[in-house]
Amino acid sequence: MQATPVARLTAFGNLDEDDYKVLAKMGGTGRKFAPNEFLQREGSDFRRIWLLMTGFTASSVNRANGRRRLLRIHLSGDLVGLPSLALITAASSIVALSPVVAIPIKISVLTEVFESYPRLAAMIFLVSQEERVALMDRLISVGGLSIVERVANLLLHIHARILCSDPLAGEAFYLPLTQGDVADLVGCTPVHANRAIQHLRSTGLVSWNRQDVELLDRPALVKLAGYIPRIVERDSSWLPVNR
């Protein structure tokens, strides 16, 4: 297992040797997915989780009007499919937005983690809490901001996530999303997403050509979007120790 995919876990504290040992068990062979291919289908009762290695994926649901709604974007290092563990059928699909590599993980590994690696279990638990906060932030965004503000918010969020796994990345990043994808993410029509993007371009806040995005004026974007950086609590003293 490379360093990158565990970045979300190590944000909360250091992993010990045993943790890495059980994580290594997760590291099987990755499966490849093409854009718009599904890792999981909404309504399916087949229970499996994935560890994302590379690429962009999103949780998706189908809408009455035929379009889809993208609820949450997932990047490398994310463990996806956990929410549907609680239900008899999957609440959302998981769809690849770019070429993706993901490792399927057996649920039994999760059993072992909870039974024998309480520290690791608690850290996975914390990542899930972080996801809850992220969903709440998206709810604030969708319910209270204009489309231009939501797009700015989305870009800042993705940029922060990329910085998390690659602290040396600058203001520019690769974004393999169509404007239709952006529309599905911020909850509007492709036409309107296009207008919002052009507004960000014309005001000089963002450069966005094909799949290359650069945040030209991040402070202004932060102000525009009312963006609140979420800083994770590292070395939480309450974390249990492994036996």
Partner DNA sequence: CGACTTCTTGAGGAGACTCAAGGGTGGTGG
Partner DNA sequence: CCACCACCCTTGAGTCTCCTCAAGAAGTCG
Applying CB under 7 A, the span of 22-30, 94-102, 194-202, 226-234 interacting with DNA comes to 194-202
Cβ closer to a copy of itself: 8 or 159?
Answer: 8
- Does position 203 interact with DNA (CB under 7 A)? The reply is no
- Does position 210 interact with DNA (CB under 7 A)? The reply is yes
- Does position 148 interact with DNA (CB under 7 A)? The reply is yes
Give residue 218's identity as a one-letter amino acid code. R
Q: Which of 110, 163, 190, 207 binds DNA (CB under 7 A)?
A: 190
- Distance CA(72)–CA(52), nearest Å, equals 14
Binding site for a copy of itself (CB under 8 A): 12, 47, 59, 61, 63-64, 69, 71-72, 82-89, 91-92, 107-108, 110-112, 114-115, 118-119, 121-122, 124-133, 135-140, 142-144, 187, 226, 230-233, 236, 238-241, 243
Q: Residue 132 binds what, of DNA, a copy of itself, none (CB under 5 to 8 Å, by partner type)?
A: a copy of itself
Question: Strand 212-215 to strand 57-62: parallel, antiparallel, or no bridges (unpaired)?
Answer: unpaired
- Distance CA(164)–CA(108), nearest Å, equals 29
- Distance CA(189)–CA(101), nearest Å, equals 29
CA distance readout (Å), 129 to 78, 112, 208: 13, 21, 32
Cβ closer to DNA: 26 or 151?
Answer: 151
Six-digit token string for 167: 């602290």
* Closest approach of a copy of itself to the CB of residue 12, in Å: 7
* Closest approach of DNA to the CB of residue 201, in Å: 8
- Using CB under 7 A, which residues numbered 214 to 233 contact DNA? none
- Does position 65 interact with DNA (CB under 7 A)? The reply is yes
- Describe the crossing of helices 17-26 and 118-144 by its angle, rounded to 10 degrees: 70
Strands across the sheet with 57-62, in order?
38-40, 93-96, 57-62, 68-74
* Closest approach of DNA to the CB of residue 147, in Å: 4
CA atoms within 13 A on the CB side of 138: 19
DSSP 211: T
Quick note: the x/- pattern for DNA over 14-53, rule CB under 7 A, is: ----------------------------------------
**Tokens 């990329």 belong to which residue?**
162
CB atoms within 10 A of CB 92: 22
* Closest approach of a copy of itself to the CB of residue 114, in Å: 4
- Does position 179 interact with DNA (CB under 7 A)? The reply is yes
Residues in the chain: 243
Give contact residues for DNA (rule: CB under 7 A).
Answer: 65, 146-148, 178-180, 187-192, 194-195, 197-198, 210
